[in-house]
Amino acid sequence: MELYNQTAASLAKMLQNKECSSVEATQSVLDRIAAVEDTVGAFVTVTGEEALRRAKEIDDRRAAGEELPPLAGVPVAIKDNICTKDVKTTCSSKMLENFVPPYNATVMERLNREGTVMVGKLNMDEFAMGSSCETSYFKKTKNPHNPEYVPGGSSGGSAAAVAAGEAFVSLGSDTGGSIRLPASYCGVIGLKPTYGSVSRYGLVAFASSLDQIGPFGRCVADVAMTYSAICGHDPYDATSANRAYPQFTVGGAGDMKGKVIGIPKEYFGLGVSAEVHDRVMKAAELFEKNGAVLKEVSLPSTPYALSAYYIISSAEASSNLARFDGVKYGYRTPEFENLTDLYEKTRSEGFGDEVKRRILLGTFVLSSGYYDAYYKRAKLLQKQIQQEFSETFSSCDLLLTPTGTDTAFRLGEKESDPLSMYANDICTVTVNIAGLPAISVPCGNAANGLPVGMQLIAPKFEEQRLFTAAGCYEALTEQPLCPVASL
């Protein structure tokens, strides 16, 4: 078995036992990238040389007898909206095509401290706006399980790279489902952490009150380990929570005994396909057979969540993206007559269609005369959704829902229809609106051979409950949960 097929957890053990070196593991991943990248297209930038240099450094430190953290020497890949010092960070936009950050995001500082080896930067929907990875300025990433299908978005590159064996773990960001949806489409595990638990310093802002960085992996332990490495207070992010985090553990087969899993009925309407419904309920029954208690619950505001999400996220995006004006950094139009001309041409040429639509929507809902009818009402609904979740969690440990309404769709299928694209996020946006943690875990394949994902949702800062439940499910399934796609 090639090294790239290992999980991060099993590779970490091999590295500790000196059964292989980080240089070998890194080379294996780089060879895999060279072999499959033409088909998958997960990367915007591959940093092979630097990765091998870094891997050698970790190997040398280990050889010298240094005690290293668990992820030391493990090859990782990073979504291209997370700032990496001296490595291009494009947000898959023409606007930032040549942007080289002079600093690292806090999550990068933390991963570097852990000794991880970055192999490259991953493709995404432009500025994280999209659900298919098709709005990237550079290329369309393909689903490794069937390249005629999308990997999901916006963190499509992050999910596809892990699914294809091009990285052991990766980081993505999730504003309305951008980690969980691609994890579901690509058959890997993706965690959207509690808002405030992972620093956003150095994450290029889309909707600051909803954005959160999180990990992808091919087993629950990898996701728990990576989350453990990146969470924690950061004075550079004013919304970062100042609290202590426990040592996370992965659940086993018997660990859901007596736990109450809420099944919110609204999430199984919403246009969820019969197959997805069936797979998710099969997973629920498996939990029940092993001692969990299933309980039907109701979150009545769910059908309105998508409206509230697109209002709030677009409003914040229109404000956040005002900084891209061609003055201090990023793209600047080559010819202009005056300052206004410079702004307008730069932004019209530098942003793609979807980004422009969101900026226009955000401008609309914030403009005078419409603010109360849209933005304020959406913020009130946000409060109501938060209250409904917190009432539900008084009688449930976790909630179980589908991640997406269906499996991945074909490339191009929804590209020209923004509304049908937006509808993909219906099961995931509520979690961002309420600031909760949620994990997407594969729960079988549909008849078309593509993976189906289930979403587990926990109260704020209860990521441990997600690792317990997901670990339990992993232990109960006979097949490996996330096999590397054969390409």
Partner 1 sequence: MKVDVKRLAKLARIRISEEQEVRYEQQMQDIIEMVEKLPPLESRDSLVDPDHPMTLRKDVPSAPYKRDDILKNAPQVQAGCVVVPKVIE
Instruction: Among 18, 243, 257, 376, indicate the residue that binds partner 1 (CB under 8 A).
Output: 376
Taking CB under 8 A as the rule, does residue 394 contact partner 1? no
Comparing CB distances to partner 1, the nearer of 361 and 398 is: 361
Q: Which two structure tokens, joined as six digits, stand for 132?
A: 């298919």
Whether the Cβ atoms of residue 44 and residue 155 lie closer than 8 Å to each other: no
Taking CB under 8 A as the rule, does residue 364 contact partner 1? yes
Active site residue 158: no
| CA atoms within a 13 Å half-sphere pointing along the CA-CB vector of 337 | 1
What's the min distance (Å) between Cβ of 199 and partner 1? 13
Instruction: Among 310, 389, 467, 473, indicate the residue that binds partner 1 (CB under 8 A).
Output: 310
Q: Which amino acid is at 305?
A: A
Distances (CA, A) of 169 to 91, 117, 191, 215, 231: 19, 11, 12, 7, 16
Taking CB under 8 A as the rule, does residue 367 contact partner 1? yes
Instruction: Among 39, 298, 348, 395, indicate the residue that binds partner 1 (CB under 8 A).
Output: 348
What's the min distance (Å) between Cβ of 195 and partner 1? 8
Distance CA(189)–CA(179), nearest Å, equals 9
Taking CB under 8 A as the rule, does residue 268 contact partner 1? no
The 8 Å CB, 24+ separation contacts for 269-273 are: 270/302, 270/303, 270/405, 270/426, 270/427, 271/405, 271/423, 271/426, 272/402, 272/405, 272/406, 272/427, 273/405, 273/406, 273/407, 273/446
Instruction: Among 100, 281, 293, 294, indicate the residue that binds partner 1 (CB under 8 A).
Output: 100
Instruction: Among 5, 16, 363, 477, indicate the residue that binds partner 1 (CB under 8 A).
Output: 363
Backbone phi, psi, residue 348, to 5°: -70, -35
Q: Which amino acid is at 474?
A: E
What's the min distance (Å) between Cβ of 324 and partner 1? 10
> What are the b/e assignments for 87-108, b being 16+ CB within 10 Å?
bbbbbbbbbbbebebeebbbbb
Taking CB under 8 A as the rule, does residue 63 contact partner 1? no
What's the min distance (Å) between Cβ of 376 and partner 1? 7
Comparing CB distances to partner 1, the nearer of 120 and 196 is: 196
Whether the Cβ atoms of residue 8 and residue 169 lie closer than 8 Å to each other: yes
**Strand runs (DSSP E) across 283-329, as ranges?**
293-297
Span from 108-116, 141-149, 237-245, 285-293 in contact with partner 1 (CB under 8 A): 237-245
Distance CA(364)–CA(166), nearest Å, equals 41
Taking CB under 8 A as the rule, does residue 36 contact partner 1? no
Taking CB under 8 A as the rule, does residue 477 contact partner 1? no
Taking CB under 8 A as the rule, does residue 329 contact partner 1? yes
Comparing CB distances to partner 1, the nearer of 148 and 341 is: 341
Span from 64-72, 168-176, 274-282, 339-347 in contact with partner 1 (CB under 8 A): 339-347
Taking CB under 8 A as the rule, does residue 457 contact partner 1? no
Q: Which residues lie below 8 Å from residue 164, measured CB to CB, with a gap of 6+?
A: 32, 36, 40, 42, 144, 484, 485, 487
Taking CB under 8 A as the rule, does residue 79 contact partner 1? no
Instruction: Among 50, 278, 344, 462, indicate the residue that binds partner 1 (CB under 8 A).
Output: 344
Instruction: Among 241, 439, 466, 484, indicate the residue that binds partner 1 (CB under 8 A).
Output: 241
> 314 in helix, strand or coil?
helix
Whether the Cβ atoms of residue 476 and residue 424 lie closer than 8 Å to each other: no
Per rule CB under 8 A, count of chain residues that contact partner 1 = 66
Taking CB under 8 A as the rule, does residue 137 contact partner 1? no
Whether the Cβ atoms of residue 96 and residue 140 lie closer than 8 Å to each other: no
Active site residue 178: yes
Distance CA(452)–CA(146), nearest Å, equals 14
Distance CA(207)–CA(282), nearest Å, equals 35
Binding site for partner 1 (CB under 8 A): 98-100, 102-103, 195-196, 235-236, 238-239, 241-242, 301, 303-304, 306-308, 310-311, 318, 322, 325-332, 336, 338-340, 342-345, 347-348, 351, 356-357, 359-361, 363-365, 367, 374, 376-384, 418-419, 422, 435, 460
Q: Catalytic amino acids?
A: 79, 154, 178
